[in-house]
Amino acid sequence: MRIDVVTIFPELFAPFVTTSLIGRARDAGLLEIEVHDLRNSTVDRHRVVDDEPYGGGGGMVMIAPPWIRAAREHGAGARRILMSPQGTPLTDAKVRELAREDALLLLCGRYEGVDERVRRLVADEEISVGDYVLSGGELPAMVLVEAISRYVPGVVGLPSSVEQDSFRRGLLDHPHYTRPAVVEGLEVPEVLRSGDHAAIEAWRRREAVRATLEKRPDLLARADLTRDERTELASLRACKVGQGTE
């Protein structure tokens, strides 16, 4: 997969694209990531990328022409995404959809925003990483790249770990434990030390349902539950009602 990024701060990406899974994936040829300086797509000697907004008020707005030139130069054949708090919320389903693309172009705005004509002329869609505002689209772009990379074959050493990640079927992940067996009086559940793989898997499924009910019950309405998980959910809900917690 190829991912191109356009930003006025390309230096922010240097450690990100050379470290950990992303760095190893690039070295192995599994991911091709190129970061482009928007100012290289300007045509004036001052390399201007922003101006005062029409109508007054607010901060500076990024002008459209450099973005349009950059998108057309670096985004040929790519799905072009404007990172924006006004965009579609990023979900695991969206990540999996984007991971099937051969090429992506991520546009990282700054200041008060990007001229609306960029969205209309060269962006295929807008994506948001949450209902809050950051100073720019660089961190959201890194979040998107990190999430997508996990679905690129070969990037994650154990593919099964991706399948078990939170949100994969609409559920949060089950709790994880490692050595030591006891930490300040809290013990690792006995089943995880039993060696009974069927019992361990059943425990993990139940605990994933429990964690989702406790932390993100909103996910359960669209979760892909097995019959056993639906039974466990009904039991947990009945228990909560009995305890007067619902």
* Residues catalogued as catalytic: 85, 112, 150, 165
Q: For residue 180, is the peptide bond before it cis, meaning its omega torsion is within 30 degrees of 0?
A: yes
Tokens of 2: 């190829």
DSSP code, position 117: H
Cα angle 4-9-10, degrees, rounded to a multiple of 5: 40
The residue assigned the tokens 């300040």 is 184
The sheet carrying 50-51 orders its strands as 50-51, 61-62, 113-114
The answer to whether the CB of 78 falls within 8 A of the CB of 4 is yes
Residue 87: CB atoms within 10 A of its CB come to 18
The answer to whether the CB of 26 falls within 8 A of the CB of 18 is yes
